Amino acid sequence: MLHVRSIVPPDRTDAVCSALSAHVGVTNVVVLPDAARSPKGDVVTADVAREAANEILDALRELGVDRDGSISVENVDLSLSHGAEEAQRRAPGAPDDAVVWEELDRQTAEGAQLTWAYLAFLTLATQLAGIAAITDSAILVVGAMVLGPEFSSVAAICYGLISRNGQRIGGAVRTLSAGFAFAIVVTYLCALAGRWTGVLDISRLPADRPSTAFIYSPDRWSFIVAVLAGAAGVLSMTAGKSSALVGVFISVTTVPAAGNLAVALALRHGSQVGGSVLQLAINLAGMIIAGVVTLLVQRLVWRRVLRGADVSTGRPRSHG
């Protein structure tokens, strides 16, 4: 369940309550007259089944609540209510299948912003990957994969493509490009410094790297894994299963490829540069393609679910 709290201009409170009460996926509607001070208005709260969230948010926005008041949505961790259980049962579809598009919009907006925290995490992850390349450490590769924040930008590009939001796409592409460029340059400079000071006592990357050779040796499996990871990543975001993202991070080799690229450049090991660049490009392309397709399928399937249900009763529509 989701808890929706709105600050509503008094002249629209009845209309908002009617819109909430008319949907089978809504329960526990509460009105606190003249409770809000900034902005002024009545506070209206309700518990909404996740499957009904898009329709309820659309109804509130059509009434101008977002413009003249406020709308906030929170996840309800525990709800002991027969009414809430009934609302979930009668709402069309299943909670895990419902995409709350406003929520996804806010989530992906963060991935399109280039922040110091984003640069720091990506740089640290890339440096870990660079050390993994030198020491042939699979453990460090996994650590670098988990630490990298780049999937948020990939998800932002996917959402921007299906919503035709050029600004979101452009921002995410800039963030991804600038982030990797910054991380690779910093790692490259650190590798050069290590070489000049003797910390790195090798002149080239090891020729035999059984644990990390996949980083710079892309093949058809690289694309297949990236596609599967991209689909899983988008599904984990839309279904609210954030724990599944860890598996996505461990599956793709974007950050390890960037770290290997930086170290290979610093140690002048040209044979691994091209493979690292190709691995990075294949993984990003695979995730974006899979993410876009996954969102499109979810949108089409959910539209079909809504067309076949009557939200006033929760039962399938009659076609007789």
Task: Give the number of domains in the chain.
Answer: 2
Q: Flag whether 14 is in a domain.
A: yes
141-160 pLDDT, tens digit each = 999 998 999 999 999 999 99
- Give CA–CA dist 195/192, Å, rounded: 5
- Does 63 share its domain with 175? no
Q: Flag whether 318 is in a domain.
A: no
List the structure tokens of 92: 């069309």
More confident residue, 247 or 254: 254
- Does 143 share its domain with 170? yes
Q: For the domain that residue 83 is a member of, what is the CATH number?
A: 3.30.70.260
Instruction: For residue 155, give its domain range.
Output: 103-305
- Does 66 share its domain with 118? no
Q: Model pTM?
A: 0.83
Q: Flag whether 98 is in a domain.
A: no
| Residue type present at position 254 | T
Confidence of residue 170 (pLDDT cuts 50, 70, 90): very high
- Does 125 share its domain with 12? no
* H/E element, 174: helix 166-197
- Does 69 share its domain with 214? no
Is the peptide bond between 95 and the residue preceding it cis, with omega within 30 degrees of 0? no
- Does 282 share its domain with 191? yes
CA 27 to chain CA centroid, Å, is 29
Mean pLDDT for the stretch of residues 86-103: 83
Q: Flag whether 317 is in a domain.
A: no
Backbone angles phi, psi at 77, to 5 degrees: -75, -35
255-284 pLDDT, tens digit each = 999 999 999 898 887 778 899 999 999 999
Confidence of residue 315 (pLDDT cuts 50, 70, 90): very low
| Residue type present at position 320 | G
- Give CA–CA dist 263/260, Å, rounded: 5
Domain edge (last residue) among 62, 91, 120: 91
